[in-house]
């Protein structure tokens, strides 16, 4: 075993031990360790009771058993079985998802007609949505106030400065994750110590972007702790580290920890941030709504979500706070002109997004194909760029080759210079099956590029009606081409869309920002918990 492999294993074992020694400070702990074949999860199994070695423990990958004695000879025992994740190889470091494949039984249809496949998939999605509306709960869980004669627990004196626990979905690229990282920095600015956890096992590629600061700690619960033990760990952490606030960013096990928090840690302020109503089952906003009585603040990024929380879950108006994912500038800069001109002889279209189904990369390619055909007929030199990574990479490359677009469309990785690209693009394409309020549309307008999006989520808050196209796959392609054609042919129409985009952006810019909503909370928590 190489020195780097030994270091990797040692670091993983140390991370796991720190978690369980905090969770079970008095118990005798038996860590049954093996070499994992998964670079993301240790597949933890926890058994409370007498340690009994099992045959599966002693296989070819067995590393050994490490015992941490308890506080006495009769201390209860806990066995923790862990497959320490191996280091990812270079290909996995770039992409851990397997290449996308069509749904079982529909591979032949996709080969014959990718768009016919997309229409079938779309129909299935819409059916699932209708069913989900009937079966998913849209009622808030009740929360009793308790009887004043029964004393509530009080925060213990720890001698520690106040801290916040920020729970994220994962530390990978995404809009929700951007806000999560912003809140880490804002909490530090407010004077809070910060503990970060993630719920979904992943490489957590963005963990290196957490501030290199002694007051920031990333705890790998995603790798080493089963979800059912999160409430117990959160309680231990909160009591030991003077945690005065929990901020949830699409982190399921923290929602599931809320009954424990309200019963045993009532002094903790719970903040929740949500971004997108998933069309299949409501997604995290529905979960947030169900738990709304357990939350002190529901921060949302769009007017759609304000209405969703108040109308569907009857959340208290003072609990739901709109905070846009925009930065407040001390000296607001005038928006640049949107560069597309009627009748121009060149057109550059851009797509920016993860190559996952939500963004519908196949529909993007079909749209580029249709735009290339339109441009040829109009005498326009057409080029395009696709930016993103994900399981659809191979499919996108194959389709571009199949349609003869490889020389027309450039494919760039996710770390491309987005501002520079938008600064030379005329059109941004966003034919997603679902969005909250896509940040890339903000960015496009800020860099002089006109976005065209499907009519999903809160996109109508940033785009005028004529730049929103139907979600049905073929209708999305046709609608995008019609919009581009009209922008190109009709100078008056183009002028109205430019005016509408700038007006929408100014309306959004007048709303409170996420930082303006959250920073006063963070500062109050830091001051009251000191």
CB–CB of 203/93 below 8 Å? yes
Closest CA to 522 of 182, 294, 233, 290: 182
Residue that is last in its domain, among 70, 86, 102: 86
Residue 302 has what DSSP assignment?
S
Boundary (domain end) residue, out of 86, 119, 152? 86
Q: Which value, to the nearest 10 degrees, does the dihedral of the CA atoms of residues 95, 97, 102, 108 take?
A: 60
Q: Does residue 395 sit within a domain?
A: yes
Q: Pinpoint the alpha helices (H) of 265-392.
A: 283-290, 303-307, 313, 361-378
**Is there a domain that residue 292 lies in?**
yes
**Which stretches of 126-261 are assigned E, i.e. beta strand?**
163-168, 193-198, 216-218, 243-249
Together in a domain, 80 and 168: no
Look up residue 213 and give its two tokens. 């600061």
Residues 264 and 366 in one domain: no
Give all strands of the β-sheet with 468-469 in edge-to-edge order. Answer: 409-412, 381-387, 346-352, 427-430, 450-454, 468-469
Same domain as 402, residue 305:
no
The candidate with the shortest Cα–Cα distance to 288, out of 380, 167, 207, is 167
Q: How far apart are CA 92 and CA 424, in angstroms?
A: 32
Instruction: Round to whole Å and give the CA distance between 9 and 20.
Output: 17
pTM: 0.93
For the domain that residue 427 is a member of, what is the CATH number?
3.40.50.2000
**Strands 243-249 and 216-218, sheet pairing:** unpaired
- Kind and range of the H or E element at 65? strand 62-68
User: Of the candidates 255, 247, 318, which has an alpha carbon nearest to the alpha carbon of residue 290?
Assistant: 255
Asked if 227 and 310 sit in the same domain, the reply is: yes
Residue 334 is given by DSSP the state P
Residue 124 forms part of a structural domain: no
Q: Within 10 A of 526 (CB to CB), how many other CB atoms are there?
A: 21
230 with 169, same domain? yes
Give the whole-angstrom CA distance, residue 253 versus residue 229.
9
Answer whether residue 336 is part of any domain. Answer: no
Output the pLDDT for position 320.
Answer: 97
Q: Which helix (H) or strand (E) holds 240?
A: helix 230-241
In this prediction, residue 488 carries a pLDDT of 97
In a domain, 415, yes or no: yes
Q: Are residues 402 and 497 in the same domain?
A: yes
In terms of Cα–Cα distance, which of 192, 224, 288, 206 is closest to 38? 224
> Does any domain span residue 137?
no
302 and 398 belong to one structural domain = no
Residues 186, 189, 194, 198, Cα dihedral to 10°: 20
- Partners of residue 383 on adjacent β-strands: 348
Strands 77-84 and 193-198: unpaired
Can you spell out the DSSP letters for 171-200? SSSSHHHHHHHHHHHHHHHTT-EEEEEESS
The CA distance from 53 to 359, in Å, is 47
Q: 174 and 243: one domain?
A: yes
Where among 33, 55, 86 does a domain terminate? Answer: 86
- φ, ψ at 275 (rounded to 5°): -130, -35
386 and 518 inside one domain: no
| Whole-number CA gyration radius for the chain | 26
Token code pair at residue 352: 């920016």
Maximum C-alpha span of the chain = 86
Q: Which of 202, 499, 468, 207 is nearest to 335 (CA)?
A: 499
Which sign does the torsion angle of CA 175, 186, 518, 322 carry?
A: negative
Rounded CA separation 332/340 (Å): 23
pLDDT in the model for residue 464: 96
Is 187 within a domain? yes
Residues of the chain with pLDDT under 70: 1, 135-136, 175, 279-280, 330-332
Scored b (16 or more CB within 10 A) or e, 442-473 reads: bbbbbbbbbbbbbbbbbbbbbbeebbbbbbbb
Supply the DSSP string of 347-367, one letter for each residue.
EEEEEES-SSGGG-HHHHHHH
pLDDT at position 279: 63
Number of domains in the chain: 3
- At 215 the pLDDT is 97
Same domain, 185 and 283: yes
Q: Report the distance separating Cα 401 and Cα 386, nearest Å.
A: 14
Q: Does the residue 178 lie in any domain?
A: yes
Tokens, residue 58: 């002693």
- 414 shares its domain with 424: yes
SS3 267: coil
* Domain co-membership, 401 together with 496: yes
The Cα–Cα gap between 94 and 394 comes to 14
Domain that holds residue 289: 163-324+512-528
Beta-sheet strands, E only, within 70-222: 77-84, 163-168, 193-198, 216-218
Q: How many CB atoms lie within 10 A of CB 111?
A: 11
């Amino acid at each position: 075993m190489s020195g780097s492999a030994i270091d990797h294993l040692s670091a993983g074992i140390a991370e796991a031990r720190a978690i369980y020694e905090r969770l079970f400070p008095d118990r005798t702990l038996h860590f049954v360790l093996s070499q994992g074949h998964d670079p993301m999860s240790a597949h933890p199994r926890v058994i409370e009771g007498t340690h009994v070695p099992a045959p599966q423990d002693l296989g070819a990958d067995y590393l050994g058993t490490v015992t941490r004695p308890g506080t006495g000879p009769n201390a209860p025992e806990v066995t923790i079985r862990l497959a320490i994740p191996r280091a990812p190889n270079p290909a996995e470091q770039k992409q851990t998802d397997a290449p996308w494949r069509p749904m079982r039984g529909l591979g032949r249809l996709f080969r014959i007609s990718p768009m016919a496949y997309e229409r079938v998939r779309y129909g299935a999605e819409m059916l699932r949505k209708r069913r989900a509306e009937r079966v998913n709960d849209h009622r808030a869980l009740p929360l009793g106030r308790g009887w004043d004669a029964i004393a509530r627990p009080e925060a213990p004196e720890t001698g520690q400065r106040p801290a916040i626990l920020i729970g994220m979905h994962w530390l990978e690229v995404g809009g929700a994750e951007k806000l999560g990282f912003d809140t880490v920095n804002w909490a530090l600015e407010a004077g809070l110590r910060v503990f970060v956890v993630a719920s979904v096992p992943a490489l957590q590629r963005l963990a290196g972007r957490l501030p290199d600061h002694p007051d920031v700690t990333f705890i790998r619960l995603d790798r080493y702790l089963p979800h059912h033990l999160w409430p117990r760990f959160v309680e231990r952490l909160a009591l030991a580290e003077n945690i005065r606030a929990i901020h949830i960013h699409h982190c399921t096990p923290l929602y599931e920890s809320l009954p424990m928090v309200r019963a045993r840690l009532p002094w903790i302020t719970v903040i929740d941030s949500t971004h997108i109503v998933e069309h299949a089952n409501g997604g995290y906003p529905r979960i947030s709504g169900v738990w709304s009585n357990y939350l002190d603040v529901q921060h949302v990024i769009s007017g759609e979500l304000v209405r969703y929380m108040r109308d569907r879950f009857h959340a208290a108006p003072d609990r739901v706070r709109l905070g846009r994912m925009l930065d407040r500038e001390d000296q607001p800069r005038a928006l640049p002109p949107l560069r597309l001109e009627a009748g121009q002889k060149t057109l550059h279209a851009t797509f920016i997004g993860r190559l996952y189904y939500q963004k519908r990369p196949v529909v993007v390619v079909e749209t580029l194909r249709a735009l290339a055909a339109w441009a040829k007929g109009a005498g326009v030199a057409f080029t395009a760029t696709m930016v993103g990574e994900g399981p659809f990479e191979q499919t996108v490359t194959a389709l571009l080759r199949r349609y003869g677009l490889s020389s027309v469309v450039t494919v760039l990785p996710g770390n491309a210079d987005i501002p520079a690209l938008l600064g030379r693009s005329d059109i941004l394409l966003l034919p997603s099956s679902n969005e909250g309020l896509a940040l890339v549309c903000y960015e496009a307008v800020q860099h002089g590029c006109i976005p065209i999006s499907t009519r999903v989520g809160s996109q109508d808050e940033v785009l005028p009606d004529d730049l929103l196209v139907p979600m049905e796959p073929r209708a999305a392609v046709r609608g995008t081409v019609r919009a581009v054609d009209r922008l190109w042919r009709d100078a008056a129409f183009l002028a109205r869309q430019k005016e509408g985009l700038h007006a929408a952006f100014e309306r959004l810019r007048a709303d409170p920002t996420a930082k303006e909503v959250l920073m006063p909370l963070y500062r109050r928590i830091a001051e009251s918990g000191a």
